Structure 1
Amino acid sequence: SSRGTVLSWKEAHRNDPGIKGLYMYNALPSGAWGDSTFWHPPNDVTEQSPNIFFVYKREPGCSSDSINPDIHDPNYGIIIQNRYSDLGIIGKDTLVHSIGNSTNTDRYQFLLEFALSVIDPCLPANIESENSNLQRINIYPNPSNDIFNIVFNTNTKKDIDLRVHNVSGELIFSESLKDFNGNFNRSIDLSQYSSAIYILQLNTKDEILNKKLVLEK
């Protein structure tokens, strides 16, 4: 966040295919814009630049507030967004502002959803580890507009906790299985919730598996 975004900005724009996206809080404060002949952040943006997600505490124009100025102005992020637009980079930039008291929860409330959004789409959504004791995990339909069917099996008795969280970490579903062995098949109804990405978590004493649930209405 803040000065840290200045230090990482150029590194993140060196066209490394391993860099999938940038999530930045209070990005590129006023000090980064002091001498454009020395460095101008938009000049680092190219057509190969990664997805960006900017989060700001205050509203646009806050740096010029005569009573309570703030060096972290969303207008700086908007300049970067305009650069993306000028290059024809569509759908890869997001900016949110005025997020309240900026506790850690506020700052990073969008991080999980952003991270999931930039995962390589070629990776299977429901793949399990070769070393996992939970086998053939399947979630269908996914995306869904209401019901998700969860299927897996295990050939050894174990306690399993199923949990579904929203991207803010709020628990919206849970079920505990004691000494479970065999085939599991359960439907989870998310029809009362809004369209978003949710996380299904399967916990045993040996492992924690996370799966993405995409609710689209």
Structure 2
Amino acid sequence: MSRFINLFGLLLIIGAFTVGLAWYSSAPLVKRVKASVNASSDSVVRTSSDTASILGTPTISAAFIDQVLAHYGSPAAGTGKALYEDGGMYGIDPAFALAFFWHESKFGLYGAAHDTKSLGNIICTSGYPSCIGRFRAYSSWAAGYLDWFRLLKSEYIPRGLTTVDTIIPVYAPGSENNVPAYVSAVKQMVVALRSGHLEV
């Protein structure tokens, strides 16, 4: 009799475990996937004030980039997806690219960038196919974005220049007398963008 009770108890435990396992692997699957996605997202998001390195995953969305460009009346409005995807492809947070774009020309509204379609007013180099004045020129804003990311990836990052503080003294030499202001402006804009603000 006791053997029968023990066997019956064991069968009850196995049955309960099977039912529990079936429930866990069916209905809550969506919740588990969402939790996993949220955990992985949280692990890569930096604080808005962390401006030490340009390297990393995007901290702003393509839709938000479009919102910023539209807010300023930029001629590059609607190109947020291209800027976002280029940043992801090159491992550079597009928040920095957008901050450079803002400081250099207020998103293409002023200066040479209006005609060159350049995110960062890159100096024309020997053999470069298209230039206007002393700056590289592009057929589209997306082409200008791509060249900016390529420049940082191929010329700056291999030399260990991965922060705003180390990039800008080379990017905008001291002879232009604006390095400290440039560094401060870019950092402040990155903080604002990551906080969801359209302006500093």
Which structure has the larger Rg? 2
TM-score bucket of the superposed structures, by smaller chain: under 0.3
Q: Which has the higher contact order (CA 8 A, sep 6+)?
A: 2
- The two structures have a TM-score, normalised by structure 1, of 0.20
More strand by percentage: 1
Using the size of structure 2 for normalisation, the TM-score is 0.21
